[in-house]
A and B are shown apart, each in its own frame.
Chain A
Amino acid sequence: MAHGPAKGIARWLYTTNHKDIGSMYLWFSFAMFLLGGVFALVIRAELFQPGLQIVDPNFFNQMTTMHGLVMVFGAVMPAFVGLANWMVPMMIGAPDMALPRMNNWSFWILPFAFAMLTSTLFMEGGAPNFGWTFYAPLSTTYAPPSVTFFIFAIHIMGASSIMGAINIIATILNMRAPGMTLMKMPLFVWTWLITAYLLIAVMPVLAGVVTMMLMDIHFGTSFFNAAGGGDPVLFQHIFWFFGHPEVYIMILPAFGIVSAIIPTFSRKPLFGYASMVYATASIAFLSFIVWAHHMFTVGMPLAGELFFMYATMLIAVPTGVKVFNWTATMFKGSLTFETPMLFSIAFVILFTIGGFSGLMLAIAPADFQYHDTYFVVAHFHYVLVPGAIFSITAAVYYWLPKWSGRMYSEVMGKTHFWLAFIGLNVTFFPMHFSGLAGMPRRIPDYHMMFADWNMISSIGAFLFGGAQVLFLYIVISTIVSGRKATDKVWENPEGLEWTVPSPAPYHTFSTPPEVK
């Protein structure tokens, strides 16, 4: 019979078990989430009032850069990979991931990448200060010396993501239980399959663009240097060719999570399963042909502006299909509002608000006003925080009883939800107004006229930060002393993961389950 986990630290260093690796990914991303959150709170503390109070402008720029990098590459992406590690084999009835040793490696290079990235804060000249989008020549000619460490950290993160993605595709395409056809797979598996293809397609482009930076800085090439016949705008094109699919990498798995949770608590099957699959695939395809909407103001021909404007707006169609499907799933359902459901409903509402501000930004002529203002900050935080973060939080509440065998406290969970929900809206909603009034992003000081909105945003940010500390407490206290969870956990949830005991044994589905 299957043996249990090894003892001590060796278990975690050498493990090839998808559940162990999934847990490590999740804890790592939680740590990075708190670190990135601290950076965000430095930003909000400085912006609490106009004028320069707490940090000098160069350090402020390092904070905005590190906040973005740590949240995108350290918090959101590893959290989704961790969820995939835990859930994909259990959802398709596989005993483990297809490539367990590579799985171990793709996790264990991540802490080194982020240790290297974070160490730049203590280097002479400071951490990268050119924004998470690291536009050349800010990130080449004018970059601090630590940029080289940043480049290598990105290389390692990229390698980790690509290996993780290959592993997930290999698992999904080869290791499904008999009878688990592609169109029977849970949507979380579907969205991750498509996300993994996006990752393999664009992470090498990111690696390519930082490699070109490295060569411009150290080896005398001129990819982005006008003096040598290069072009800084080329950087933006290549970066956003990676960057736009990247934002879908951060949201498609969230769609899968919400598509699992909403049916459970509506006590109805998901409305429009097939259309969800096709919508996800359409969004993934469209993400490759819209990148220049991030750079409407660089001076494009009118035809270019129009093409990217209409292509961007087209994305609203498949996304709308999804939102209507979730709404239709809830329609006339026997709804209950446990914590995962609250986070999922908030996801649907707030993500839609973020989608609408995205449509506003997609209008090329209007974008010239919104470009590089707090309106953009409000937009992408409305899609990423309720989108990625809320869905990950919902997933943790939904599956934590299965992982740990213990139930969280519903009162505590709901308290966390309301604190986070109020904190988020108080933080980011006023940014729409300060942005429309013209407040530029990435600046440590601002005009008096933006003072009220900024003070409200800062108060909300600290509330939201406090809510996440409560989340940490809830997760730990559940694992340590929560009451025992049943095998099914919820009332009649769908999926193979609920057919195994709680907590899920170290090895599940050593013999494949029957899928009817």
Chain B
Amino acid sequence: MKRLMPDNPIHAICLKLGALGVGMFVFAIWVMPPMYDVFCEITGLNGKTGGPYQAVSAEVDTSRTITVQFVATNNEGMPWQFAPEVRTVKVHPGEQKRINYHAVNPTDRDMIGQAIPSLVPFKAANYFHKTECFCFEQQPLKAGESAELPMYFIIDQDIPENIHTITLSYALFDVTERYADNKVTKVTQ
């Protein structure tokens, strides 16, 4: 029977230590990023708000009112005009609400934008559900074109008592070059 490890103890330890090194490299690239994503999803860290939500019929809790503020920013170099139609809405937990963002591409070239949400307080991130959102996919706008970008959301009835205000921020990125071949893919936000 052939033994797994070489007879020379120096060669054996080199193999083990080399394997440890390769293992740590694999850990850094293929384990740490997914682990971080899972960790953020569980804790709501960074205000990542999760993907499309299947609405479940539930009681609207009219005893509570939560103020939702909308913020829109352009990432550096993004020339679009991008803003929510209303800055603030008041909603009851369990109630579905639609709000529109307005985007204009004032340039003379066709562009693609991608909005990335972030929500504070982080604790609320897991209780803020979006049933439909423009941020789930890229937004192509031709030169000079404008668009209404809808977003439907429901705030969970189980949202902690001490949360009265939620701020949802969208940062708009220019991803024209990244998706230049018209291959529009879904990103989970």
Q: Are A166 and B14 in contact (CB under 8 A)?
A: yes
Q: Closest Cβ of chain B: how far from A307's Cβ, in Å? A: 13
Cβ-defined partner of B10 (8 Å) among A99, A162, A301: A99
Return chain B residues, CB-CB under 8 Å to A223: 33
Q: Is B13 an interface residue (CB 8 A)?
A: yes
Q: Are A229 and B175 in contact (CB under 8 A)?
A: no
> Which residues, 77 to 105 on A, are CB-close (under 8 Å) to B?
98-99
Q: Are B21 and A162 in contact (CB under 8 A)?
A: yes
Q: Are A205 and B27 in contact (CB under 8 A)?
A: yes
Return chain B residues, CB-CB under 8 Å to A165: 17
Q: Is B165 an interface residue (CB 8 A)?
A: no
For the residues of A in contact with B, the DSSP-based class is helix
Q: Are A173 and B13 in contact (CB under 8 A)?
A: yes
Known contacts A205-B28, A212-B29, A226 near B21 by CB under 8 Å: no
Provide the B14-44 mask, 1 if CB < 8 A to any CB of A, else 0. 1001101111110111001100110010010
Q: Is B147 an interface residue (CB 8 A)?
A: no
Comparing A108-116, A234-242, A402-410, the segment that makes contact with chain B is A234-242
Q: Closest Cβ of chain A: how far from B120's Cβ, in Å? A: 9
| Measured CA separation A16–B23 after assembly (Å) | 29
Q: Is A174 an interface residue (CB 8 A)?
A: yes
| Measured CA separation A360–B173 after assembly (Å) | 39
Cβ-defined partner of A200 (8 Å) among B17, B32, B43, B114: B17
| Measured CA separation A207–B21 after assembly (Å) | 10
| Measured CA separation A212–B29 after assembly (Å) | 7
Return chain A residues, CB-CB under 8 Å to B25: 204-205, 207-208
Known contacts A166-B14, A169-B17, A204-B28, A234 near B36 by CB under 8 Å: yes
Q: Closest Cβ of chain B: how far from A245's Cβ, in Å? A: 11
Q: Are A233 and B46 in contact (CB under 8 A)?
A: yes
Q: Is B65 an interface residue (CB 8 A)?
A: no
Q: Are A211 and B29 in contact (CB under 8 A)?
A: yes
Q: Closest Cβ of chain B: how far from A497's Cβ, in Å? A: 22
Q: Is A372 an interface residue (CB 8 A)?
A: no
Q: Is B178 an interface residue (CB 8 A)?
A: yes
Return chain A residues, CB-CB under 8 Å to B146: none
Q: Is B188 an interface residue (CB 8 A)?
A: yes
Known contacts A226-B116, A238-B32, A299-B46, A200 near B14 by CB under 8 Å: no
Q: Is A209 an interface residue (CB 8 A)?
A: yes
Q: Closest Cβ of chain B: how far from A465's Cβ, in Å? A: 37
Return chain B residues, CB-CB under 8 Å to A226: 75, 116, 171, 173
User: What is the total number of residues of chain A having a CB less than 8 Å from a CB of chain B?
Assistant: 36
| Measured CA separation A208–B173 after assembly (Å) | 26
Q: Are A228 and B24 in contact (CB under 8 A)?
A: no
Q: Is A201 an interface residue (CB 8 A)?
A: yes
| Measured CA separation A202–B20 after assembly (Å) | 10
Return chain B residues, CB-CB under 8 Å to A220: 178
| Measured CA separation A209–B24 after assembly (Å) | 11
| Measured CA separation A301–B126 after assembly (Å) | 14
Q: Are B175 and A301 in contact (CB under 8 A)?
A: no
Q: Is A317 an interface residue (CB 8 A)?
A: no
Q: Closest Cβ of chain B: how far from A208's Cβ, in Å? A: 3
Provide the A212-251 mask, 1 if CB < 8 A to any CB of B, else 0. 1000000010010011111101100110010000000000
Cβ-defined partner of A208 (8 Å) among B9, B28, B36, B188: B28
Return chain B residues, CB-CB under 8 Å to A378: none
Cβ-defined partner of A229 (8 Å) among B13, B171, B188: B188
Return chain A residues, CB-CB under 8 Å to B114: 227-228
Q: Is B189 an interface residue (CB 8 A)?
A: yes
| Measured CA separation A56–B45 after assembly (Å) | 38
Q: Are A231 and B40 in contact (CB under 8 A)?
A: yes
Known contacts A162-B21, A174-B13, A226-B173, A241 near B178 by CB under 8 Å: no
| Measured CA separation A457–B179 after assembly (Å) | 50
Q: Is B89 an interface residue (CB 8 A)?
A: no
Provide the B134-176 mask, 1 if CB < 8 A to any CB of A, else 0. 0000000000000000000000000000000000000101110
- Tell which of A211, A228, A237 has the most Cβ of chain B within 10 Å: A228
Return chain A residues, CB-CB under 8 Å to B75: 226-227
Q: Closest Cβ of chain A: how far from B50's Cβ, in Å? A: 12
Q: Is B187 an interface residue (CB 8 A)?
A: yes
Known contacts A229-B189, A231-B36, A234-B36, A170 near B10 by CB under 8 Å: yes
Q: Closest Cβ of chain A: how far from B111's Cβ, in Å? A: 13
| Measured CA separation A207–B188 after assembly (Å) | 28
Return chain B residues, CB-CB under 8 Å to A170: 10, 13-14, 17
| 9 further A-B pairs in the complex, CB-CB below 8 A; given A162-B21, A174-B9 | A170-B14, A204-B25, A204-B28, A212-B33, A226-B116, A234-B33, A237-B32, A299-B45, A301-B122
Q: Which 9 pairs, one residue from A and one from B, show the smallest C-beta to C-beta distance?
A: A208-B28, A227-B173, A204-B25, A204-B24, A205-B28, A229-B187, A166-B17, A208-B29, A98-B10
Q: Please list 10 pairs of residues, one from A and one from B, whose beta carbons are closer than 8 Å in the complex, sorted by A's number.
A: A166-B14, A200-B21, A201-B24, A203-B21, A207-B25, A226-B116, A226-B171, A228-B178, A233-B46, A237-B32
